[in-house]
Structure 1
Amino acid sequence: MSVANPRQSFLNPTIPFAGTILGGLQPGEMVLIQGAVLSDADRFQVDLTCGSSTKPRADIAFHFNPRFRKSPCIVCNSLQQERWGKEEIHYQMPLQQGAAFEIIILVQKDMFKVAVNGAHLLEYKYRLDLRRVDTIGVSGKVKVQAIGFIPGSTSVQTPPSSVVTKGSESNAVFSESGDLSLPYKGRLLRGLSAGNTITIKGHISLYPHSFTVNLRISNTEDIALHLNPRLKASVFIRNSFLDDSWGPEENALSGAFPFLPGEYFEMIIRCDAHLFKVAVNGVHLLDYKHRVQDVSCIDELEILGDLQLLDIKLW
């Protein structure tokens, strides 16, 4: 999972799949689905349903149905008393046959908002009472690694001199400058711990050279994790600066170099017990073993370079 603490999750479910949503859905929550479209896929679907009955068929509050043949599109609809309503068809198609994806369904008071691979895709206004939804179903030509239900969290109101971008008051990212302008420096109030996830969203400049994300140790020059995508060379450098010297560079990736001039990106850095995991646009790219063993002393986030910073969250 790319989010540290889902209240409920399903890992590697067999498709077709139907699972009970404990406690139903609440406004502010997110449904996170990570998986891959099969290479021969014609379609698949994600359904948020009111029960799991097949005869008669349970009502479907939200039917999300990517279709890949002829004119690729995503069809959204609702089923009430075994009758489909009016289709809402979206021709923007960020999902591809054979490609990994991350779908986030944000539950709001009056609609679902859907993002795919970090980019907003569509909105769907409720046709059924959200309180009736208690089941998630997935079927079709798709493989799912994880489904997670992420509780909503409220932003903490703070004086203008500091900005809480996400999290609780005791474990949040505070901007020293009060905004997201670069160079950005943020304080992790309690340091990092295993299970924490930092999400960084930004836009790459049109004519970029590189940008840098550093996880630092305050009151020292030490950098526990140095992430440095170099766009002209399409190389993603990782390293640590400890005891006044750089260590051995790492640059191998498990996927293609993901950053493009002028494009939006979402980078997720997860701190596990022995390593960092980094994903970009929903695709896992690399592991980086800790060179600083006590991660709780990592308490500064620094970002600089050829990008516009849009959002930072700490989970």
Structure 2
Amino acid sequence: MTTPPIYNPVIPFTMGLAMQPGLMMHLQGKPTGSEFHINLKAGLEADADIALHFNPRFSPEKIIVRNTYSKGRWGVEERRISSFPFSLGEHFEMVILCQEHQFKARPPKLFKNPGVPLSATVPFSNLKGHKIVINGIPLDQEPRKFTFDLRGAPPDNDIYMHMDSRFAQRRIVRNSMLRGKWGGEERQLAIPFPFYPGVPYKITIHVEEQSFRVVLNGMEIFRFNHRKRPLTLIGQVDFHGSTDISCVKFK
């Protein structure tokens, strides 16, 4: 179930929403004061129960307070966080995912200069309809190859798409590994081998209904049809080999 986006609402803002396990909210904004809050309420009334009170505060300390409000009383606050992801005056985007027994709130994953090898966790319950943007540079001294693997979340170790860029062969080999066995390789490209040592690249992997559509520097270079479903089982993207990665973003 998808709700049409609402752009630039006047704050404070209230809307009706049928939240249930498996659904998520995608929010964008820019903090302008000492705090803001997002309340998932059981109704539109002012005193309705609040299933999730999400309250980032910039002063006197940077903290994110989470709580519930039931039958006229606040519950026990939760404050522990590993880092504070918001900055005054800077745009943010975040996802609130409703699960059976909890809410998960987090920004879509953004990794800057993470180093290789890297395993990036998928921040969505279903990768379909999203895209992965990868900025990197092949190592400038005789790179051999580098690999991106879209892999199932444990205990699912299947590889849904293996993209292996090989400099000696000047090929980008695609494959899948299901139940411990490699499938048939795909090697045809719409363009000549596009990578060069020391030359930056931008790869965007579009996760579409029938395939992964891979775009390099604005040009589509191949499509890899899905060999396993559901795509909800994809849980991480692994990076290996002769490349530096400057940024990975899930959108």
TM-score past 0.5 threshold: yes
Match of 1:247 in 2: 183
2:150 aligned residue (215, 226, 231): 215
Structure 1 position 234, deviation (Å): 0.6
Stretch deviating more after TM superposition (262-271 or 182-191): 182-191
Please identify which structure carries the higher strand content: 1
Q: For residue 310 of structure 1, what is the amino acid of its counterpart?
A: S
- 8 Å CA contact 1:174–1:187 kept in 2: the answer is no
Structure 2 gaps of 5+ residues are 9-26, 32-55, 57-63, 65-80, 86-91, 97-106
Match of 2:249 in 1: 313
Distance change in 2, residues 1:222/1:261 (3 Å): same
1:187 aligned residue (121, 124, 128): 121
Distance change in 2, residues 1:249/1:154 (3 Å): farther
Structure 1 position 153, deviation (Å): 6.8
Match of 2:39 in 1: none
Q: For residue 168 of structure 1, what is the amino acid of its counterpart?
A: M
Distance change in 2, residues 1:191/1:240 (3 Å): farther
CA distance in 1, matches of 2:197, 2:234: 30
1:294 aligned residue (220, 230, 250): 230
Alpha-carbon displacement from aligned partner over 1:197-223 (angstroms, at most 9, x marks no partner):
100000110120000001100113211
Match of 1:159 in 2: 82
Match of 2:75 in 1: none
CA distance in 1, matches of 2:30, 2:136: 22
Alpha-carbon displacement from aligned partner over 1:96-131 (angstroms, at most 9, x marks no partner):
xxxxxxxxxxxxxxxxxxxxxxxxxxxxxxxxxxxx
Alignment of 1:1-315 (within 5 A): 159=82, 168-170=94-96, 172-173=108-109, 180-206=114-140, 207-219=142-154, 220-315=156-251
Aligned residue for 1:237, secondary structure, equals: strand
Distance change in 2, residues 1:297/1:209 (3 Å): same
CA distance in 2, matches of 1:226, 1:288: 10
- 8 Å CA contact 2:113–2:246 kept in 1: the answer is no
Aligned residue for 1:299, secondary structure, equals: strand
- 8 Å CA contact 2:150–2:161 kept in 1: the answer is yes
Distance change in 2, residues 1:191/1:305 (3 Å): farther
- 8 Å CA contact 1:167–1:313 kept in 2: the answer is no
TM-score of the aligned structures, taking structure 1 as reference length: 0.46
Aligned residue for 1:296, secondary structure, equals: helix
- 8 Å CA contact 2:134–2:247 kept in 1: the answer is yes
Alpha-carbon displacement from aligned partner over 1:198-252 (angstroms, at most 9, x marks no partner):
0000011012000000110011321111111001211000000101100000010
Structure 1 position 172, deviation (Å): 2.3
Q: For residue 182 of structure 2, what is the amino acid of its counterpart?
A: W
TM-score of the aligned structures, taking structure 2 as reference length: 0.58
Structure 1 position 174, deviation (Å): 6.8
Q: For residue 262 of structure 1, what is the amino acid of its counterpart?
A: G
Aligned length: 163
- 8 Å CA contact 1:225–1:238 kept in 2: the answer is yes
List, as ranges, runs of 4+ consecutive aligned residues in structure 1 with deviation greater than 3 Å: 151-158
Q: For residue 143 of structure 2, what is the amino acid of its counterpart?
A: P
Distance change in 2, residues 1:244/1:168 (3 Å): same
- 8 Å CA contact 1:174–1:188 kept in 2: the answer is no
Structure 1 position 169, deviation (Å): 3.6
CA distance in 1, matches of 2:239, 2:249: 13
Q: For residue 244 of structure 1, what is the amino acid of its counterpart?
A: G
RMSD: 3.2
Determine what percentage of the aligned residue pairs are the same residue: 23
Distance change in 2, residues 1:167/1:152 (3 Å): closer
Distance change in 2, residues 1:167/1:261 (3 Å): farther
